[in-house]
Amino acid sequence: MSGLQQFWDQGDAITRSVAALLLAMSVSAWVLIFWKGWLLRRVRSDLARAVPAFWAAGNLEAARAQLLAFDRERALLPLLSAATAQPEALTLEAQGRRESQLTRRLRDSLNAVLTQLRFGQVLLASIGSTAPFIGLFGTVWGIYHALVSISTAGSITIERVSGPVGEALVMTAAGLAVAIPAVLAYNIFGKLVAACEADLEGFAHDLREMQSDHGAATDGAASTPPHG
């Protein structure tokens, strides 16, 4: 601890800025890791309970009530709203075929839900890819700063060199300590989001089939002439 304190006291503005940046990146990564881990675990649990409960309901209103009860993170409700929405009259959307309208609404809703689930992935990837280089830059600059200080002292011994250089190498280790959890979390969250995406796509496909069949049955009943 005393070595780190000495390194901080002897460091210049650049060295301290690099250390502060690595600290900020580490805090941001861990906050995001805990939050996304909690969120994706809830979404996976909601999907496992809400989808069977939805299809076990007796009618659409009862199915919506099941989603309101189980879909805590609102991953499925936007898809149901998109499937049951009606386009405004006199719009280009209303002029298309019913199946095309349904596909467009479900696609847009699915993309919006997946965007929410992927939130923070870019930050984790950026931290994981840049933190080692930031730490390496801090090490190089620290070694340079230490050697300049030693050269001005007039005498160079192994003791004078090894101490400052060893302390500067801590920055590389700090960069790796920041990057490794971020990379691992990025990969794990990517698999979880992909699993959620597969379930959501399946639910959206089933909703489209249900609404298309319902629309076809309604149109067929409306076009059947009454028997006189």
Buried b (16+ CB within 10 A) or exposed e, 92-123: eeeeeeeeebbbebbeebbeebbeebeebbee
Q: Indicate whether 160 belongs to any domain.
A: no
What pTM, to 2 d.p., does this model score? 0.80
Question: Hey, how many other C-beta atoms are within 10 angstroms of the C-beta on 36?
Answer: 22
116 located within any domain: yes
Residue with tokens 């689930």: 117
Residue 82's CB is within 10 A of a number of other CB atoms, namely 22
- Taking only the tens place, the pLDDT of each residue in 11-37 is 677 888 888 899 999 999 999 999 999
pLDDT at residue number 11:
63
The parent domain of residue 113 ranges over: 13-124+178-218
Distance CA 135, CA 25 (A): 11
Of 132, 224, 112, 116, nearest to 179 by C-alpha is 132
164 inside domain: no
Task: Encode pLDDT of 102-134 as tens digits.
Answer: 888 899 999 999 999 999 999 999 999 999 999
Residue 61 lies in a domain: yes
Instruction: Give the total number of structural domains in the chain.
Output: 1
